[in-house]
Amino acid sequence: MKNIVVLVSGGGTNLQALIDAEKRGDIKGGKITCVISSKEDAYALERAKNNGIKTVVLKRKDYPDVASYSKAMAETLTTEKADLVVYAGFMTILDNQVCSAFPYKMINVHPALIPSFCGKGFYGLHVHEAALSKGVKISGATVHFVTEECDGGPIILQQAVEVKNGDTPETLQRRIMEEAEWKILPMAVSLFCQDKIQIIDGKAVVTE
C-alpha cells in the first residue's frame, strides 16, 4: 500500500474527491496518510480531520525564503514516508530540493489544458480569467508530474470542458472541477499507486 500525502492551501474540494474515491475503493494500492497545509485556516484541514486523516500545518510565512520552506517540506514528506505527493490546490512554490527528493513521485492538478494558461501566476481563478479573456471555447484540467519547471512536467491525464456563453471565472472554475478535476485527479492517483504510469522519453505513458 502506497502512502499518499496531499498538499493543500485552500478549500480542498480536490482533497475531498480523493477521500471520496478512496472510500469507494477507487484508489487501488494507496491510502491517504497525511494532509499538509501551507495555511492554518485552510478548510481542507477540516475535511482531513473529519475523515480521521493526520494533518500537518507548514506555514509559508514561518520561513524566510523558498529554500528554507522547501527544506522543511522535504523533511516532513520524508518523515511521513510519502510514496506519492499530490498537490491538490497547493499554492506555494517549492524549489528543486523537493522535486529531487521525490522524482516523478509528485503530481499536480492544474485547472486548464496545459500548455495553455499555465506557469507562473496562473493559479486558481486567475487561470479561468485568462481563459475567458482569450475567448477559448474549450478549457479543462490537467494532471501532471511536478518537476522543476512550473506546470511543465510530464502530462498524465487531461479532460476537456466546454466554455459556455456568459461564463464567469467562478462558473467556469466550478464546471472544470466537477467535470474534470474531481474525476482525473483520483484516476491519476489510482494509476500511480498501481504502477501504471511510466516515464518514456520524458513523457508519461499510462499502461493498462
Which candidate in 110, 126, 128, 144 is catalytic? Answer: 110
- Respond yes or no: is residue 144 known to be catalytic: no
How many helices (H) and strands (E) are present in the chain, helices listed first?
7, 9
Query: Nearest approach, Cβ of 205 to ligand GAR (angstroms)?
Result: 23
CA–CA separation, 206 vs 50, rounded Å?
Answer: 33
- Residue closer to ligand GAR, measured from CB, 14 or 190: 14
Query: Nearest approach, Cβ of 201 to ligand GAR (angstroms)?
Result: 25
Binding-site ranges for ligand GAR (CB under 6 A):
10-14, 44, 88-89, 109-111, 123-124, 127, 173, 177, 181
- Residue closer to ligand GAR, measured from CB, 77 or 176: 176
CA–CA separation, 48 vs 79, rounded Å?
Answer: 19
- Residue closer to ligand GAR, measured from CB, 9 or 190: 9
CA distances to 42, 77, 97, 165, 192 from 147, rounded to whole Å, are 25, 16, 11, 35, 16
Q: Is 139 exposed, middle or buried (0-12, 13-18, 19+ CB in 10 A)?
A: buried
Query: Nearest approach, Cβ of 163 to ligand GAR (angstroms)?
Result: 15
Active-site residues, by number, are: 110
